[in-house]
Structure 1
Amino acid sequence: MTIDFEIIEKEEIETLKFPHTEVLEDESAIIQRKNELKRALALGNLEHSKIQIFFEDDSSKKMVETTVWALTDESVVLKKGVGIPINRILKIA
């Protein structure tokens, strides 16, 4: 991605504020994100692999490198129950 992202630790995520609006405009990008999240969950549970999550809070674009522990309809759950709203995720790598 060409935009600069601030790299943060997963422990910082619980201090962030997330708007309720969707960050992706294209329906196909939303579907792709959902598929990437399912893949990240499988990697996290089977191989304990870390992935990069690019997301946006109420102030800037950020990136965290972490393991996905679970998915809900609305959030990606990381270690210690820290969550990122799915509608704020730009990309998973």
Structure 2
Amino acid sequence: MKTIAKEELIGFRYSRKEVLPDPNEIKLRNMDLERALALGNLEHGKVKITFLDQSLNLFQVGTTVWAVTDDYVCLKGSLSIPKRAIIQIG
């Protein structure tokens, strides 16, 4: 796993397929994203997001979650990561 700065997300190519095979894991990821959103909005706290790129390489970024939509996680600096590429939020 490679840790990157959020600025390195510009131009990133993410996995096109859902990386979590189990619907229950997807529900847990959504709950974790909502917690990360609350942490970001209330305390400006950072979380670590682990995700896969288009070549299925594993990356991690430490950042503040500003918004969560149906398909994307919006980060500070007008950056976003598609939910389908996210494996874990910690």
Do they fold alike, i.e. is TM over 0.5?
yes
Alignment partner, residue 33 of structure 1: 29
Aligned residues: 89
Q: Secondary structure at the match of 2:49?
A: strand
| Runs of 5+ consecutive residues of structure 1 not aligned to the other structure | none
Aligned counterparts of 2:2 and 2:11: Cα–Cα separation in 1 = 15
Write the letter of the residue equivalent to 2:86: I
Aligned counterparts of 1:18 and 1:64: Cα–Cα separation in 2 = 14
- Structure 2 counterparts to residues 1-93 of structure 1, below 5 A: 5-59=1-55, 60-93=57-90
Instruction: State the percentage of identical aligned residues.
Output: 46
Aligned counterparts of 1:65 and 1:80: Cα–Cα separation in 2 = 13
Q: Secondary structure at the match of 1:69?
A: strand
Q: So what's the TM-score if we normalise by structure 1?
A: 0.92
Root mean square deviation, CA, Å: 0.8
| Runs of 5+ consecutive residues of structure 2 not aligned to the other structure | none
Deviating above 3 A after TM superposition, structure 1's stretches of 4 or more consecutive aligned residues are none
